Amino acid sequence: MKRHGGLYEAISSLPNLYVAHRHARRGKTRYSEVQYVDKNKDALLESLHESLVQQTYTTGKYKIKKIYEPKERTIYVLSYYPDRIVQHAAMNILQPIWDKTFIPDLYSAIPNKGIHKAINRLRLFLNDTENTRYCLQFDIKSYYPSMNHTTLMNLIQRKIKCKKTLWLLQDVVDSLDGETNIPIGNYLSQYFGNLYLSDFDHWLKEKHKIKYYLRYNDDGIILNDSKDELWRLLDKIQNYIETRLKLKLNKKTRIYPVNDVGIDFLGYKTYRTHALLRKRTVNKFKHKIKEIKNHHTEMKNQHIVSSVMSYVGWMQHGNCYNLLRKHILRDKELNEIMDRCSAELGYKNPLKRKYGDTNQ
């Protein structure tokens, strides 16, 4: 396996820091912290460049917040400058290296992949009705809080040999005290989530010759024609992740017949002939649409338009035209809000561009 060296000069270079700032600020230009960096970027990025070159940079303190949707989680938030810019700078150089190591059917946090591509792939798998009669669906218990720092760094070193780059990544990995816990909220953490199970992915595909397997973050789907074979495989999976990765499977891990219940995965209930949004996803969208209608005057136009069109995309992808028509296309109040926001942004309501007169 080729290991890459000489990366740190590219990561810490001033041109790369400018690109990292441009990437990191996307969608965040209203924040005062970002605006401050915009006004003083030459001096600030030069200073950051020097701290990286001299290796005096260290990951800053986290602000901690709780979120409760879809489940309670602790989110760790770093300052925009210098920390988030540094992580984008590292990813600019490391992402192409890491992407080449992943199996094709990994869909989380990778450009041109994502949830809808994963569901499309799952539906393609299900076309083979004989060999996809049973599903092994696994989930890792407390995935990011359980990641072991030493194990993660060992996995990173499989591809990276540049000592200064390893120093920088070690600083980020160890930015929370203890032997475990990779902070949810870090830009690098989403890729660490891909890396941590990457050898496991190859073990399944290459040693066990699993044809129908895909993963999104810590959620995996394996399809087979034999329930007994999946139970035997589950024992091996459990042993692998406990002994090699120091993780545990969530109690939600199960094996079941596909035809009986469909596959509840990534916000959709996927069947052989179609996919539907799961009820919890529908309820979330209803709540968000109600929130837009009640508080649209306090929201930015672009946020409203982008949010509504995102919901449209989810419903379209899930064979949910009746749901789309009822809750978006025929909602007069929502369409009036979309008309206003779109006009103020300088273009036609994208709902009407796509569907014509939505109130018909």
- pLDDT tens by residue, 31-74: 999 999 999 999 999 999 999 999 999 999 999 999 887 788 99
Residue numbers of the domain that contains 33? 8-100+164-170
State whether 297 and 256 are in the same domain. no
* Residue from 205, 198, 200 nearest 244 by CA: 200
State whether 120 and 260 are in the same domain. yes
Please give the pLDDT value at position 114: 96
Please tell me whether the overall predicted TM-score, pTM, comes out greater than 0.95 for this model: no
Q: What is the pLDDT of residues 200-256, one digit of tens each?
A: 999 999 999 999 999 999 999 999 999 999 999 999 999 999 999 999 999 999 999
State whether 38 and 91 are in the same domain. yes
Tokens of 86: 């540094």
Place of tokens 């194990």: 151
State whether 124 and 228 are in the same domain. yes
State whether 214 and 349 are in the same domain. no
- Rounded to a whole number of angstroms, the CA Rg of the chain reads 23
Q: Average pLDDT for residues 171-176, to the nearest whole number?
A: 98
Is 106 domain-assigned?
no
For residue 113, the one-letter residue type is K
State whether 220 and 345 are in the same domain. no
Q: Which of 250, 273, 296 is the last residue of a domain?
A: 273
Strands (E), 152-309: 212-216, 219-224, 254-257, 263-265, 268-270, 275-277
Is 346 domain-assigned?
yes
State whether 22 and 96 are in the same domain. yes
Q: Average pLDDT for residues 256-279, to the nearest whole number?
A: 95
Is the pLDDT at 360 greater than 60? The verdict is no
Please give the pLDDT value at position 318: 86
Please give the pLDDT value at position 161: 98
Q: What is the pLDDT of residues 123-164, one digit of tens each?
A: 999 999 999 999 999 999 999 999 999 999 999 999 999 999
Q: Are 329 and 299 in contact (CB under 8 A)?
A: no
DSSP string, 9-50: HHHH-HHHHHHHHHHHTTT-TTSHHHHHHHHTHHHHHHHHHH
* The total number of structural domains that make up the chain: 3
Is 119 domain-assigned?
yes
Q: Are 257 and 224 in contact (CB under 8 A)?
A: no
Q: What is the pLDDT of residues 311-348, one digit of tens each?
A: 999 998 888 889 899 999 999 999 999 999 999 999 99
Angle at 148 between CA 110 and CA 207, to 5 degrees: 65
Q: Which of 238, 273, 308 is the last residue of a domain?
A: 273
- How far are the Cα atoms of 91, 94, 114, 169, 291 from residue 160, in angstroms, in the given order? 13, 9, 26, 10, 46
Please give the pLDDT value at position 358: 58
Please give the pLDDT value at position 287: 92
State whether 302 and 269 are in the same domain. no
Is the pLDDT at 359 greater than 80? The verdict is no
